[in-house]
Structure 1
Amino acid sequence: MKIGSKAIEFLVGIISGDSQVSEYRSGPQLVNFFNGHGEMDLYGAGFPSRHIFVREKLLAMNGQHRLKDVIEEAFNALDEDENHAENIAFQFSKILAQDGYKLNKDYRPGFYDGNDHVPGPIFFQVVPNKLVFGNSPTKLLLTHPILEERVTKARARIESNDFDGAITICYTVIEGFLKLSLEKQGVEFKDTEGDIKKLYKALAIASNMDQSSTTEDSLRPLLNGLSTLVTGFYEIANKSGDRHVARHKPVRRHAVLVVNLTFAFCDFLIDSFSERQIRN
């Protein structure tokens, strides 16, 4: 795994804590951090400035597989404020995308305490960025492999009877697709926005998928159906997924329906952007 200088500098601040968005690490703590990834350093006289030490270690590891493990440990050590962690990870992921990678957010399995579901914490993984961009930075062609990869993971959760986990993955897929689509169209939105209804509304306006007085009658049912579908995703994820304390325990057929509709919805977005890119 090889990353550029911008990603390296972002990591220096995260690992050292100097960017003030992550926990401060002292010199001995930094030595222990990197020794956990194959280094064999000792802290003592002649130890360089902390940020210099971190930068040198990252540059030495750049191009090696263990850099992936370093990045994941750095971001999974962020504080328990989910919105804060997701915001920082999203900022880094935008930089990392230039190098062909991204940080993928997922949820660890939750558990039931009586009738109440306790959601699992989020964690981040470095994965290849399988997005294909057009000549213009405002055009976006989302490829099917990344969608199929996530849907396959959701189906695996179903097979393991983790139905709320499957629903949560689907919500994350839709949220991610909407944010990427907005970003590439130059539409501003909050990095921490997790309400897919708001994200879809912004995308619909930007993509002429919202209903107006000039909308053809034949298109109104389809556009209305898309908006209703997004609202349905939002409601079932809040009530049955593990994003929040679940009020309803989903069963297999609910999770299967959500997965299938997620694939259809994102597939529609992919084809829409593909057609728009060809026309332009």
Structure 2
Amino acid sequence: MKLSEYTIEFLGNLIAGDIEGAPYRSGPQLVKFFNEFGGRDVYPSGGGFPTRRIYAQDKLRELNGQSVMKQVINTALDPRAFLKHQLDVDSAVAKVNDNLKHDGYEVVKDGLAYKVRELSVGSVKLEVPAKVTHQLTQLAIDDNIRKCEEKLAEGDYSGAITNARSLVESVLIGIEKEFDAQAPEYDGNLQGLYKRVQKHLHLEPDRKDISDSLRQILSGLVSVVGGLAAVRNKMGDAHATSYRPSRHHAKLAVHTAVTLSDFLFETKNYQQARKPPVPDRTVGGSPT
């Protein structure tokens, strides 16, 4: 998390308590505060400690560009510190956001606390009606969409990748149950699950009635599903990671999962709409 010098100066003043509405921190309290984030400073007993706000600003400059900076801001806005001094934390959050927005970040409420998130991530959502009849699967779909957006915004890129795969898993499980009430329990084989759903949705690349270009795209979807499974294993947080993912890796995984899910749901809705109704074979309530 990289902040401008303007924001560093403001946050240093806020953490020191030199801004109206912010809790005051003495020199020893500032040393203790920043030592929570890797500092090893000792408050000098014989004097020589710099101006409190200057110390806070210098410590922020040391941490600038590191992911821990988000936690520094979250801790500085701990509502309990404001409550102790009978101060309004929401007013302080508004001032912080007035500065952070110029750096592409904002502070949002998270339960009883506050957390920093990116402004530029954008909304993660499915464009088509994304509903399945299995209630628990629907909850999983909605939850994974929400977590993809949250984790991208919070900088949890491994978590975002994990939820991207989980989104595709839950979408495929839900669609399969729509077409086959006796479908086998999911065994973790994402590509096998996709191939079963592929048949239900008539998306097999070897169909004879489709163009070569469409066949190539449908074949590519198999590779996309395999890629999501592999990148989650190497970069997700569900296993020991082989690589540390960057923001663009996570965005690729999330938006690929969303695009694929959109396509699958739109195809499902189309197939179900064109399915002919079951004829009524009863006369007077009795089978003919």
Shorter-chain TM-score: which interval?
Answer: 0.3 to 0.5
Normalising to structure 2: TM-score of the pair? 0.45
Which one has the largest radius of gyration?
2
